[in-house]
Amino acid sequence: MNLEVVFGNIVDAKTDAVLNCANCFLERGGGVCGAIFESAGAKELEKECKEIGCCEIGKAVITKGYNLNAKYIIHAVGPIYYGREEDFNLLKQAYLSALELADEHEIKSFALCSISTGIFGFPIEKAIPIALNVIHNFEPKSLEKCYMYCIDEKTYDCFLKAEQNYRRTHNPLNKMPTKVFVDYIKNNSKICHTDDELKEQIKNSEKQFELMKTIAWENFESLSKVELERIPIGWVYDWTHVCGGGCYYQDKVEDLYKKYDLPTKFNVLLYLKKYDK
């Protein structure tokens, strides 16, 4: 499942559905729950929630979005944290129930928030790995992308770092030998000497880019100057985002290219602007 960490208020999300950190009675609460009720229109939302009744811990229900940008609100009930193994299982089930419900209703974009880490007291450092594992391992039928909304800087920083680390450590083909990648480059690429040659290579490099998305930093770093020259510079910048390293990889890539006196990030951005049409 594709996930993006966002710094902002979930009530402003322009997605098909948003997640509400609900209580068992589906009543208006504080924090995220209170903000969602207020923004959606408390009177109408409270009426629909009252008709539904209750929701078990670890489960989720769905209502209309009313005045929100989102068409739906998915109310997931997480556990109050007591440090028990059951708390971890229930938190996992709450995320899973919300994702399954979104998929059942053919929702394509879903704005999530950190369940149980507010007044329910679940430590953020223990909750994040559970959230990421459930989201990334979920196999949807209709759901295409999730956004994890974080309203405060601490939560955002924790989720962003954990997400980047997850992508680095869970890249499915991290163990692919460098030689496989290098051989592919040598057999399917040529060094570009002009803008026209570069433009044509970028245009016809879909398979090559798909392969590059699977390359771990360790493999990329081991490439020689000649091998690096054979890579279309226009999508090296994209690779740093696909691999989840963000600025971490961008800086390392720039240092590597400077080592061989090759075009750096500045040049890459120019190429992207030229050919991103």
What does the alpha-carbon distance between residue 274 and residue 251 come to, in Å, rounded to a whole number?
22
Most distant pair of Cα atoms in the chain: their distance: 68
Architecture of domain 2-169: 3-Layer(aba) Sandwich (3.40)
pLDDT of residue 46: 97
Domain positions in the chain are 2-169, 178-275
What are the phi and psi torsion angles at 18 (to 5°)? -125, 155
Residue-level pLDDT, tens digit, the chain, 277 residues: 889 999 999 999 999 999 999 999 999 999 999 999 999 999 999 999 999 999 999 999 999 999 999 999 999 999 999 999 999 999 999 999 999 999 999 999 999 999 999 999 999 999 999 999 999 999 999 999 999 999 999 999 999 989 888 876 765 444 444 555 556 555 655 555 556 665 665 566 555 556 666 666 667 777 777 777 766 555 565 566 555 555 666 777 778 888 888 766 544 444 444 444 3
pLDDT of residue 173: 41
What does the alpha-carbon distance between residue 244 and residue 131 come to, in Å, rounded to a whole number?
17
pLDDT of residue 213: 61
pLDDT of residue 166: 82
pLDDT of residue 7: 94
What does the pLDDT look like over 129-188, one tens digit per residue?
A: 999 999 999 999 999 999 999 999 999 999 998 988 887 676 544 444 455 555 655 565
pLDDT of residue 256: 82
pLDDT of residue 227: 73
This prediction has a pTM of 0.66
Residue 260's contacts (CB-CB under 8 Å, 6 or more residues apart) are 225, 228
Measure CA 181 to chain center: 26
What does the alpha-carbon distance between residue 93 and residue 60 come to, in Å, rounded to a whole number?
9
Three-class secondary structure of residue 258 per DSSP = helix
Percentage of residues of the chain with pLDDT beyond 70: 68
Cβ-contact 154, 128 below 8 angstroms: no
